[in-house]
Chain A
Amino acid sequence: MSAEHSFTLDGRQIPFQEGQTVMQAALEAGVYIPHLCFNPEFAPHGSCRVCLIKVNNRMQAACTTPAADGQAVQSETEEIRDIRRGILQMLFIEGNHVCPACEKSGACQLQAVAYYVGMLAPHFKHFYPRRPVDASHPEAVIDFNRCILCELCVRASRDVDGKNIFAVAGRGLQAHLVVNTPSEQLGATNFSIHDKAAQVCPTGSILTKHQGYNIPIGQRLYDRKPINVVGDVAQLSESLGGRRHD
């Protein structure tokens, strides 16, 4: 590790190993770049675009940008924060996100990242799509209103659980998460709340039944500390207020 590679992130030196992305190197160095579809346990996806950074005067996603020696990367500038905020606002108006009525409030990565980038209102016109809730499974409920198409459950179910329960179908604004059975009901699958897929959702889209409000609102993970300090809810064990089953 002596002849180390490094780049700078907002002026700060970040070491990296060959093959790492800017996101991976920053995370290892303890520097937070906001993200939603990225989870260090999975291959980068690059779809949410929240982790936008500026390299050589070009905006790119940190999660898919290979780290390179001597690179000067910008992240926390006013320009980038404006764009990240715009993208978060798009996610909020695309679905139906009613934080005060959501069980995930306070332990929701989407909400926490929105606060982090300084989003105080959704700004754009709401689309108010009609989306169903699937409560057919005895242990879990899927609220499609909150899905942001990060495909983490798709990846987790396919790559870790080996069950391939979820997929995305449709094009454009019609793109939507589907449950991979003829009835399209989660209850008809072998999904379990112990699956990796049950632990990775960055929103309140996949919820565990029978444990609502175990931790009161106000005392939850992101009620106490911001996401750039405590990290992703999917990466923290349950004892720390996270979703990870250890």
Chain B
Amino acid sequence: MAESSTLTGTIRDIVQRHGGMPTRLLQILRDIQDRSTWLSPEILEGVAEELDISADKVRSVAEFYSFLYTAPRGRYDILFSDNITDRMLGNRELLHYLCERLKVGVNETRADGLVTVGTTSCTGMCDQGPAALVNGYTLTRLDKSRLDRIANLVESRIPLTEWPREFFEVYSNIRRADILLGRHFSDGSALRAAQKRGSDAIMEEMVKSGLRGQGGAGFGSAHKWLSCRDAPGDVKYVVCNADEGEPGTFKDRVLMQDFADLVFEGMTLCGRIIGARQGFVYLRGEYRYLLNALKATLQQRREAGLLGEAILGDPSFNFDIEIHLGAGAYVCGEESALIESLEGKHGVPRIRPPFPTTHGYLNKPTVVNNVETFATAAKIAVEGGDWFASRGTAHSKGTKLLSVSGDCERPGIYEYPFGVSVDRVLEDCGADNAQGIQMAGPAGHTISAKQFNRLICFEDLATGGSFMVFDQSRDILDGIRNFAHFFVHESCGFCTPCRVGTSLMRDLVDKVHTGRGTLYDLEEMRKLGRIMQVSCHCGLGQTAPNPVLDSLQEFPEAYARRLRSTAYEPAFNLNQALEEARQLTGRNDPGAYLYEEDLMVGAMP
């Protein structure tokens, strides 16, 4: 009795702290889970009751996000980042090492409930991996000695706050700075420029700048702001997409860590221009370690008169920013899924049109821009559109931040004017033996050396910033397989071709990777990929087959050397199918195997 009334009290407190607002459901569940380690059916019922919404709404959110748990979880929840760059740095060995040290299976919770060890999608620490999260907080540069210490801390039940600070240290690794990262920005200068020259004049600078969405889609930013400004309605919103989930990209993390003022200033500027009073930052759950610092920066800006009521003393200029934390769902990087998540729902992309500029957050006109776009807009307000447009190419003005990782000497952030060649980037980052690049992440393109003279810009190779290098020692198919598994994990499950197609593609890639594929399977991959590209509901499913389709084209030998010479090989593995019968009958003699080669495999420990 006492226990359940404490539970009700805790739920009530947390719900009240969030103003009893159903739009804060995801935040509420996160806060409750911080105390309870998992969300029991009683908790979900209790939250539904407190918020006065149906239990299935709470359940659908709880079951959607990777970092929310509806089954018991360890008090220490350790998730290894499992991007291909982490794998290249040896994360699998480390994962098994830690599991052995702690005597717990992969993706299992130890019987005493102390610890769970598992994997998660890329945590955005590719330049300082192998990385992991412990109770949501980032661990970088893991190695065996660090894991030995972590295992001891866990076994001794030392609270995270007492763990060595250096475990959690995140470097910015800015290797090349241009106009965005390189020039000093004085806080408030963009807002003062808008106050002095008027919103229309700043909007004109935005138009002149030619700035395009830096998340990678490249939609004209000025056009987006204008459509939202001119959309009917008095209540409008500004949303910053900091759900940087594309594996291999981490430039928004660096902007939020070192240039948060610039980002917030760009959002506030946008708010003034479109007539919004409220802004949101949707920060990916993996960047939780940034949350307190960002809140402090917001508070400093309020105290400096750059945020909140009567900004710069202008009683008609009111704008504030709230930070929402995601919970492990790549699909929420899609702007309409992000808005759904901001509204406290599971992140399924909306039917478009209508677009967010007219029907966004709570169906009100909303500008959703990437972190880098807002930061750049603040600079443009101060320095002018012509200044920005003097760099770049005809249709890609200004500069782009690249997150460089993988096989190179100097991984990190590189800012280049648009139009830089892949060759140049490789030279600068010290990758002299590159075999291929995964450009713009798994959703982007796999390119081989014969394309290294291509230019990074919207006219040629568009990118959100992810740039992963594979050298000659790598097997490209390891990367492709990692990406195929990633998309299975991240598909939201709403539409048929993505929900089912990502799994079918993974199975085909696995089949080839394990040496059981044939030419027929490659043809199947092409057909399946084509179906997904044209029929999926959103960009996730439409781009999910890209790595497979590109690598079939660019790296045919990576497939060919694994193929069986037969024209057809069944999808099921006959030897595996017999394994259960062998175990049941306790047989392991040659007569229990069909082929000699299976006997070899089956006899292995």
Contact = CB atoms under 8 A, between A and B. Distances in A.
Nearest to A63: B351
Contacts of A187: none
A47 interface: yes
Interface string B38-77: 0001000100000000111101100111100000000000
Interface in A154-187: 164, 167-175, 178, 180, 182
Nearest to B536: A49
Contacts of B490: 172
B45 A167 contact: no
A180 B57 CA distance: 10
B500 A171 contact: no
A182 B41 CA distance: 8
> Of residues B41, B499, B507, which shows the largest number of chain A Cβ atoms within 10 Å of its Cβ?
B499
B497 A164 contact: no
A178 B59 CA distance: 10
Interface string B75-101: 000000000000000000000000000
> Of residues B351, B536, B571, which shows the largest number of chain A Cβ atoms within 10 Å of its Cβ?
B351
A111 interface: no
Interface stretch (A83-91, A99-107, A234-242): A83-91
Contacts of B496: 47-50, 87, 90-91, 94, 148
Given A47-B496, A48-B496, A87-B496, A172 B489 contact: yes
Contact of B329 (A50, A94, A171, A173): A171
A93 interface: yes
Contact of A172 (B60, B497, B502, B507): B502
A231 interface: no
Contacts of A83: 530-531, 534-535
A47 B494 contact: yes
A173 B378 CA distance: 42
B493 A125 contact: no
A211 to B, nearest CB: 29
B491 interface: yes
Contacts of B493: 149, 170-175
> Of residues A64, A149, A168, which shows the largest number of chain B Cβ atoms within 10 Å of its Cβ?
A168
B537 A87 contact: no
A169 B39 CA distance: 15
A173 to B, nearest CB: 6
Contacts of B501: 90
A202 interface: no
Contacts of B60: 167-169
> Of residues B346, B490, B503, which shows the largest number of chain A Cβ atoms within 10 Å of its Cβ?
B503
Contacts of B504: 90, 124-125
A173 B505 CA distance: 13
B45 A46 contact: no
Contacts of A49: 495-497, 535-537
B351 A94 contact: no
B238 interface: no
A14 interface: no
Interface string B560-594: 00000000000110000000000000000000000
A234 B494 CA distance: 22
B500 A178 contact: no
Given A49-B497, A169-B63, A59 B571 contact: no
Interface residues of B, number: 43
Contacts of A213: none
Interface of B is mostly: helix
Nearest to A167: B56
Interface in A70-95: 83, 86-87, 90-91, 93-94
A52 interface: yes
Given A47-B496, A86-B528, A172-B493, A167 B41 contact: no
B492 interface: yes
B536 A175 contact: no
A94 B493 CA distance: 12
A157 to B, nearest CB: 11
Given A49-B496, A59-B535, A171 B527 contact: no
A15 interface: no
B500 A91 contact: yes
B531 A86 contact: yes
Contact of A87 (B491, B507, B535): B535
Contacts of B313: none
B488 interface: yes
A127 B60 CA distance: 23
Contact of B497 (A46, A87, A175): A87
Nearest to B61: A169
Nearest to A64: B351
Contacts of A125: 504, 507, 571-572
A172 B487 CA distance: 9
B47 to A, nearest CB: 14
A164 B527 CA distance: 39
Contact of B45 (A61, A90, A182): A182
Contacts of B499: 94, 149, 172-173, 175
B182 interface: no
A129 to B, nearest CB: 11
Contacts of A48: 495-496
26 contacts: A46-B495, A47-B537, A49-B536, A52-B535, A86-B527, A86-B528, A90-B496, A90-B501, A91-B500, A94-B500, A125-B572, A127-B503, A148-B496, A164-B56, A167-B54, A169-B60, A170-B63, A170-B493, A171-B65, A171-B492, A172-B489, A172-B502, A173-B488, A173-B493, A174-B63, A180-B55
Given A49-B496, A175-B494, A175-B499, 16 more contacts: A46-B351, A47-B537, A66-B353, A83-B534, A86-B531, A91-B496, A94-B499, A125-B504, A167-B56, A172-B488, A172-B489, A172-B490, A172-B493, A174-B63, A175-B492, A182-B41
